[in-house]
Each structure stands twice: as structure tokens, then as C-alpha cells.
Chain A
Amino acid sequence: MANLEAHQVAEARECLHILLEISEMLHTGLDPETLSTCIRLIQCGVNPEALARVVIEIKRSVAEIKKSEEEDVIGRETVEKTRNDY
């Protein structure tokens, strides 16, 4: 019984590795944890296409926020530098 469980776990791990490698080759940008979370969601009945949209949109929004923050920092530094120069 224990052997069977171990076998199943090994098999699941191997499957996850395969998926990870495929994910990497397809350049999805998913790390192992995110991927396994997505798999769980799909197993719960979430539509993969909807999930893909959520992932893409969140990633895009986060990237935009980060970009605007970086621009703010640069702007602030520039203002401070200018002030110091004066």
C-alpha cells in the first residue's frame, strides 16, 4: 500500500516535471509553485482559458505598476539631485 502511494507520488512528481519543462519551453513564465496552483485550480473546475486570461492580465498590471513606480523613483531622484545641485 505504501509502495503504491510512493509510486503515485513519484509519478505525479514526474508529471509535474514534464509540465514544468513544457511550460519552460513554451515560455509561459510560470514557476513551479504557480504552475501547481494553476493545476489545482483546473482540477477544481476552473476554465483554463479564463485562468490564462487572469494570469496574463495580473502579470501585465503588475508590470505596469512596477514600471510606473520605477519612473516615480527616477523622477524623485532627479528632483532631489537638481535641488542638491542648486
Chain B
Amino acid sequence: MAGRAKDLIAADVQKLITLLSGFSEKEDPENFELCEKFAYSNLLHHRYLSVDSHAVRRSVFGMVTKFMIHGHLEASRRLDCLLNKYMNCTVFKDKEVQWAVLFLLVKLADNPTSHISDEKFSAPKVEETEDASKPFDWTTYSHLCDYLKEGNEEFNTNFCSSDSEDWEDVSDDEKSPKPEDSVEGVSEDPEVPKVPAVEEKKDTERQQLIEELGRQVNAEEWISNNVQAPWWRTKQLAEKVESVFPSANLAKTWDKCCDESTSTISEYKVVREILWMLQAPTTTTLFQEVNGQFSIQSNITIPSLTKDSMACYLNPLCEYFNMLYQLQKFQKEIYPLDRQNSGELNQMLPPYTFECYTSAIIEFLRELQELACCIEKKVKAQEDIYTLYSLNLELAPKLSQLRAVYSVHVTATNGWKTAENWLSSARLLSVLYSEALSCMECDTPCILLRVFLKSFGPYVDMIDVWLTEGRLDDYRNEFIITRRNETDNENWGSNFVMRDYVTELNSTGIRALPLLQVISDRVLHAGRSMQLLQQLDRLDDMRSQHSNHGRMYAEFLEALEKEIAQMVNKSTTTDMEIVAVTEDLEFQGTNLMSNPFISEVSNQLENLKDNYMMQAFKDHLSFKAQPNKRDIENLSSIGEVFRKLGTYSTCGLIPIKPVMERIISQLIDAKHAAACFLAKTIFLQEFNLSTHLALLRAIYLMEAGDIMHRFCIFLFKDAEHSVFWSNSYTMTAELEECINLRYPDHSSKFSVVVREDAKLNGTPSVMDEINIKYTVEWPLTVILSPTNMEYYNAVFQFLLKVKWALWALEALRFSDLTTVKNNTSTTEDAGLRCRARCLQLLRFWLLHSVGSVHTYLMGQVLHSLGLELERDLAAATDLDTLLQAHNRYVALVHTHCLQPKSSDVIKTAILQMVQLSLELRDLWCLGVDVVSDAKLIGMTEMYIKCHCFLGSVLQTAVESNRLTHLNGLSMALNTSLPKIESFALQF
């Protein structure tokens, strides 16, 4: 093989070596031989690929650009011209050789831009002159003519094909020498002025304009004479009928009878008019449009029908034209041609959901138009008889779909212009979804499902961006969740709110999109977490976990398609098993169909258009429509996901709803879990949320009794011995000192705020003036919100009051009373002893009651709820549950500590006991001899009333299951009810 190739090129190789090197075989055989060996080894045993014409084209035209960039404009133009000429050369039979030669030159090119000189290429001006002297592009014009003549052979009768070919040849001949002539003409005439006189230029321009206008007029005239159908312009149409058969001339006969004059056009033309109307409904010879309503023009028919019969036959079609007209009008409203110029504001733009919906509708209409085109080609060919009836039959399925789509369209887009974007979008999606799932007609669910999935795209994309990028890109205000206040970091949870689309839609009788209801809560939670992560600048961590940004919609469709395909395959397998049985039954089925009853039942079932019903009876009856078979055929031919989805759904028996809900839920769950888990981890690990919460419990709820005891005593003494509270600074210093004992790192975060002008009157209410402030930075404020901190303070103040009473009672010493007693005279001894005993008794009662309350608060409430909180925090999977756990804890503590208004009765009774305790302490300190019996009796009665009242209220509350957590306290008080008799005995 190589030997033959070598022989073939031997002579040329030797010549090439001689030309390049000057070595000849005879004079310098040694060098020549070396060169020859080198040449053969390269030419015969190379590893280069064959020539890539595209690469060569890029290279050479790149060279043109390079010349231009280097400022060699003339050279660039010249090279471009040469290359174009070379491309058009017909010398090379083999185009590959042509490209190979050019490739060789490119490979041999040696820094051309440095060696080029523009002076050499002044000639190309001739080319420009040549172009200028050729004002009309005849080639294009001839192509235009060909294009316009397409499918209208009858208008070309003046030109036989051979003539036209000759004409084309002639024109080519005329065209090809023309440039050369002009080149010579111009190049031989160096006297031609480069800048013509102004007048001459004007004359030339005017002349060119006149010529141009003339050509335009001629072209239009030619088009109107040859291309446009004459019946469009003729007022009185009269179709010449060749047949003498009376039925073929019914219109004429009818006119004679009724003395009327009706225009007639052929059925062929009517068919084409109808097909054109399906493309672009407008007023034509046959149809007229008035306010968007189409009707047939009066006084026109086909020769074989009377005009009324014709109108009866065509009027049903006008309904479809109306639908098409309305759909196209809607399309123009959504995509106005002059949107950019009109300068509409973003708020005025339709939602993206509507744009996607419109594109799906356009797709559907395009299918209809393609069908119309196919039919028109068939009709134009006139190879077979094609009547209005045939047209109706062929269009019927598609027109039925059009009707279904239009009816859904009307409901879905009702009032979209006036409604808010979010409401109209939700309405559109809801209607499409419910119709796609409930529609039973053969092909319609598939179309509606496709339209729905396309329209749902913007929502899925928005969710995707939100849960990946952390920003809610709702540029057209169409999403069901909206941002309330961007800067409000404290109320993080309320930054995003759900719009009330469910109520709005329900009020109009539309069931809100269940798909959204399934996911909306999770989307909202995840969106909030994403917002938080964005503010913490931690979105990169999130992105590193999920690199599939922007894929959610595609994943949704792919998963849906896969899922449905599996289900269809299952049902197909079952179908295949049944096929054998069905085939056996076919013969019987034919027989059955001959039975009028069976045939009637089959027809009825088919008319119901219920796929489920047909599926149920398909083994027993034979139906004309067999959607399953056709669908399965389509599966192999259609690759597109949407089409596949559509095709599967035409089975009409697949439970799309749960499948879609499951898939979208899975996708959202993945994002939701990732976002929330990351946020929770950041809170717990980086912001030490657990430590902060423990600290709050230790200080506010006084779980750290040892350190808080010191601060409390400081407060109680201040309250008892001063007229005004110490200032905030002193109190803060005292608190810090206390906290320093155990939490030295956190003491500076606490401060005491007290209203200094508040007068200390010795009542428990003075404790309400004390507030502890805990300073934490964002984002901990999301959890330790102002509301929560208020609750903590309220509980703290209540605990202070109870602890004050307890402290006051515990500070009383019997010895104080004994001292008093020893100083008295013996005659009053009995009375004093009696009073002292009463005071002691009252102290015991109060100690028991207030102690019970204290035990309840510190033990049953704070300790047990604290344990519960720790358990909840450990179990929290995401930030939201974390937040909920803490909020629930705070709310429970607040409730169990009797702070809500509903517990005011119990709280007041307890505070009354606290007040009594403080009064008792005062009496005790005054001495038993100073205390009057009346005062003592009054206090005791008051206490007994309080105790009994509290016991009975608590019992009622516990028994009515309203406040079951108070059961322990109720038992403690009710089992120790004081009796006035036992007190009276002391006297």
C-alpha cells in the first residue's frame, strides 16, 4: 500500500526537494537522498488527522481578523475576498483537497502580519464599486420568488420548468461576467474621480431611489397578481362548477328559487380558509370577527350547499376560532411586543407563573397549527378528495382538546389583571392542578398536566433559590410567602409570612393547591433558617453540602417521570399478561359487538370518557379507543420529559397526586433538614446556646440558690431598711459579685435596672421595680427574644416576693418573744403568753403556706420543667424545634408560676400571704406587749380567709382539670386548713 503511494508521489516529491533545496539527484546525491528519506518518512508514516474544514475555515478567517486588528484593512479585505473566491471555485472536484491546500498554506504561513503591505492591495476598491453598481440582489430576489411560488404551481403556468432553468442559467451567466466586466471597466478607467461632484451624487441617489421604488411597486404587483388568492379581493365570488349533477349546483338552484344572489367558493378554498383561521383567526372572505366573536360571512356558500346549511355547518367551528382568538389575545397581553418601550414598572408585569403558563399554551397552539399545516399540505397536493367532512373528522380530537384547555383557561385566569399577582398565580396553579387530576377525557389530562408542570416551574425555582442561596427572589410578587420586614432581626420568626391564599381561593370556590399546602410550612421554616444563615454569612457551608443548586425543578420532573414510568411499566406488564386473554377474546368480542345490547353498553362507556371505567371493562368489552396501546407506542418515540409525562398521564389511571406530593416533599425535606440542622448546630456549638439558657435559669429562676441567696438578702435588707432603692449601679455590682462566684466569664452580661424614685413602702409590690437585664448579641436574641426576657423577669420578681416572705418568717426568733415576756410583770403573764403563742401559731401557718408555695415553685415547677427543657434541647433536630422548645419552656414557666392574667386570683391570694408574713415580722419585732389583740385577731382571720380561699380555688382548678400542675400545692394547703377554733383556744 505504502509502496504504491510512494510510486504515485515519487516524481512530485523529488521535484519538491529540488525546488526547495536546490539539491539534485545527480549533483548532490547524498543530501538529496537524506531529504528524500525525510520527506517519505513524514509523508507516508505520519500521525496527523485528516483535515477539519471547520478548523481551517476558522484559521483562515481568523487571519482576516488578524490583519484587520493589525490595521491592515486593505489586506484584510483582500484576503477575505480571495478566500471567498477560492471557496466558490469549482476547480476542485474533491472539497477535501480544496480545504487541504488551504490548510497547507495556513501551516506554512510565516508571520504574515509583519510582511504585509497595504499598498499592494489598493485594487479592492474595484470590488466596492462593483457592489455599488449592483443595487439589487437578484439572487435573493429569485430565491424570494421561488419561496413565494412554493405550493402555487398553477401560477407558474407562464413559465415552463426548462425555461426557468434556462433563465437561471442565463442569469448566472449574466451575473458571473458582470463583476469581471465592471472590474475591468473601472480598473481601466483611472480617470474616474474618487469623490464625485455633489450634484451628480444627488442625481444618482434620486435615480436609485426612483428605481428602488419602481422595483418595490413591481414586486408588490407581481405578488398580488401571482401569489395572493384572487378570491380574497373579489367582492362577488362565483365558483364555476364543472359538474352538471344537480346536487353539485344546489346553491345556484336555490338562488334561482329564492331570487337571491349568493357568492360561491369551492370547498377546497373553504377548507384552506378554515386551516388558515386555525393559524391566525381574523376577518377573511369567509369569516368575520366582531368584538372577538367570529361568525361566517353572510351570503357566501359552496356550490353544493345553501348558505344557511353552510352557516350551520361552519358556525360550530367559529367557536373554536373564538377560543383561539382569546388565547392568542391572552398571549399578547402576557408578552406585549412593545413591553420594553412602554416602560412598564415591575409591579405591572405579569407573574412569571403566567409567562410559563402562556409558553405552555403557545406550545399547545403550535401543535394545533402544525396539524393544520400538515393537513394543508395534504389538501394542497390534491392527490385525494378532501372535504369539509374529512377536515372535521381529522380536526375533531385536537379541537376537543382546545375546548377543554380553553375552559380551564377561562377559570384559571379569571380576573388576573385586577387581582394581586400572588393570588392570580395561586389561582392559576390550583385550577390547573385540580383539572389535570380530575379531567377524564382521553388526552386532556396529559396536556393539562404538562401546562401545570410548566407553570409550576417558577415556584419551584423560587423555592430552590431561597433554600440554597438564602434569598427569596420574588421579583413579581407572586409567591405565597412574602417578606414582611427585612431589618427586623429580633422578630426573626415573623420576617416571612404566609399569604392567605387558601382563604381567598376558598371564597371563590376553588380548592387551594394541595401540593403547596403540603410543603408550605417546611418551606417557610427552611426559608427562615436560610435567611439566618445568610445573615451569619454561613451560606457557603450550606452550598458545600448541596452543590445541586438550580436543579430542583429538573430533579422534580426527572423523579416524576421515573416514578410514573415505573408505574406504567408495572401496569404494562399486567396488560401484557392480559393481552393473551384479550386476543383470545377478540373473536368473541367481535361476536359480542354484534350484540346490540353489548354494543350499546360499549358506546355508553366510551361516551362517559371515563378511563377508569374503560379500564375496568376492557377485558369484557371492546372499545374503539385504546389509549393504553397508543401511549405505550409513544413511549419509545418521545424522549422529552414533558412529553413522556404527558404520555404516561394519558393512561389516566396513575395516581399522580400522591406521587407529585411525595417527590416535592422529598426534595423540600432534604433542603429543609440541611438548612435547619446547620442553623441549630451553629447555635449550639458556636453560640453556646445551652450555656446561655443554663445561666438564665440559674439567675432569673434562681436555680443557683447559693449565689442568688446573697443577692436576695441584699435586696431584702435594702427594701426593709431604706426609703428608696439603692441605685442600679450598686445593685449591678452586687449581682456581678454574686455571679462571679460561679460564672466569672458571664457576670458582666447581667445588669440590674431599678426605678430609683420608687418609694419603698414595705409591701411585696416594690419587687416589681427590679429588673435584670441580660445582654446577648444577635443571633441569640432570636431565641432570647424581648418577650421571653419579660417572662423571665416576671417570674424573677414573683420568686423574690415569695422568698422575701419566707426569709422574713425564718428570721423570727422565739427568744425575741421570750425577752419581751421576761420584762413583763407576772400579772399580765397569761395574756402575753397567749399573744405570743398566737404569733407563733400564725408564724407556723404562714411558714407552712408560703413554704409550700416556695417548694412548689422551686421544685415542682422550675426543676422539673428545667429537666424537660434539657431533654427537648438534646432532641431538637433543627433550629425551629430548638426555638419552639425554649419558647414552650418559657411559656410553661410563666404559666406555672401563676403569671398569666387567668391566674391572677391565685397570685393575689399568695401575695396577700406574703404581705401578712411581712406584717407578722413587723409585729414580732415590735414585741408581744405592744401588739393589740384586735390586730392579732384581724391578721389571723385574714390569713385563715386567704388560706381557705386559696385552698378552695386551687381545688376547684385542679378538679376541673384546668390547672392540674397545681395539684401538689392544692393538697398541701387543703390538708392543713387552719380553723378559727384552734386560734380561739389560745385566748
A-to-B contact residues, CB < 8 Å: 8, 11-12, 14-15, 18-19, 21-23, 25-31, 33-34, 37-59, 61-62, 65
Contact = CB atoms under 8 A, between A and B. Distances in A.
Contacts of B90: 11
A26 B42 contact: no
Interface string B11-38: 0110111011110000000010001001
A26 B107 CA distance: 10
B104 A34 contact: no
A30 B15 contact: no
22 contacts: A19-B86, A26-B63, A26-B108, A26-B109, A27-B110, A27-B115, A28-B108, A34-B16, A34-B19, A34-B20, A37-B16, A37-B19, A42-B104, A44-B9, A44-B12, A45-B8, A47-B43, A47-B100, A48-B104, A48-B107, A55-B20, A58-B21
Contacts of A46: 9, 43
Nearest to A46: B43
Given A41-B12, A54-B43, A58-B21, A29 B112 contact: no
B108 A50 contact: no
A49 B107 contact: yes
A49 B105 contact: no
B75 A51 contact: no
B50 A47 contact: yes
Interface in B50-92: 50-51, 63, 75, 78-79, 82-83, 85-86, 89-92
Contact of A50 (B17, B46, B63, B82): B46
A54 B90 CA distance: 28
Given A18-B82, A57-B38, A62 B21 contact: yes
B604 interface: no
B12 A40 contact: yes
B94 to A, nearest CB: 8
A22 B105 contact: yes
B13 A41 contact: yes
B42 A54 contact: yes
Contacts of A30: 105, 108
B108 A49 contact: no
Contacts of A41: 9, 12-13, 16, 43
A62 B22 contact: yes
Pick the 4 closest A-B CB pairs, nearest first.
A52-B107, A28-B108, A26-B109, A50-B46
Contact of A27 (B39, B100, B109): B109
Given A18-B85, A39-B101, 18 more contacts: A14-B89, A23-B108, A25-B75, A27-B115, A28-B108, A28-B110, A37-B19, A41-B16, A43-B97, A49-B46, A49-B103, A49-B104, A50-B43, A54-B38, A54-B43, A58-B17, A59-B20, A61-B21
Which of B48, B92, B106, B108 has the most C-beta atoms of chain A within 10 angstroms of its own C-beta? B108
A25 B82 contact: yes
A15 B91 contact: yes
A25 B112 contact: yes
A36 to B, nearest CB: 10
Nearest to A39: B101
A31 to B, nearest CB: 7
A29 B104 CA distance: 12
B12 A22 contact: no
Contact of A29 (B5, B97, B110): B110
A83 to B, nearest CB: 30
Nearest to A50: B46
Given A11-B91, A25-B112, A38 B104 contact: yes
B111 interface: yes
A1 B155 CA distance: 38
A19 B101 contact: yes
B852 to A, nearest CB: 103
A26 B16 contact: no
A34 B101 CA distance: 12
A43 B102 CA distance: 13
B40 to A, nearest CB: 9
A62 B39 CA distance: 14
A83 B763 CA distance: 134
Contacts of A18: 82, 85-86, 89
B48 A50 contact: yes
B213 interface: no
Contacts of B91: 8, 11-12, 15
A74 to B, nearest CB: 20
A27 B19 contact: no
Contacts of A39: 101
Given A18-B86, A19-B105, A22-B82, A62 B20 contact: yes
B579 interface: no
Contacts of A11: 89-91
B613 to A, nearest CB: 71
B977 interface: no
B20 A52 contact: no
A52 B104 contact: yes
A7 B291 CA distance: 67
B830 to A, nearest CB: 134
A22 B83 contact: yes
B101 A48 contact: yes
B116 interface: yes
A10 to B, nearest CB: 10
Nearest to A63: B21
A22 B102 CA distance: 9
A54 B35 CA distance: 9
Contacts of A56: 108
B83 to A, nearest CB: 7
A62 B35 CA distance: 10
Contacts of A62: 20-22
Contacts of B8: 44-45
B24 to A, nearest CB: 13
A15 B107 CA distance: 19
Nearest to A8: B91
B610 to A, nearest CB: 70
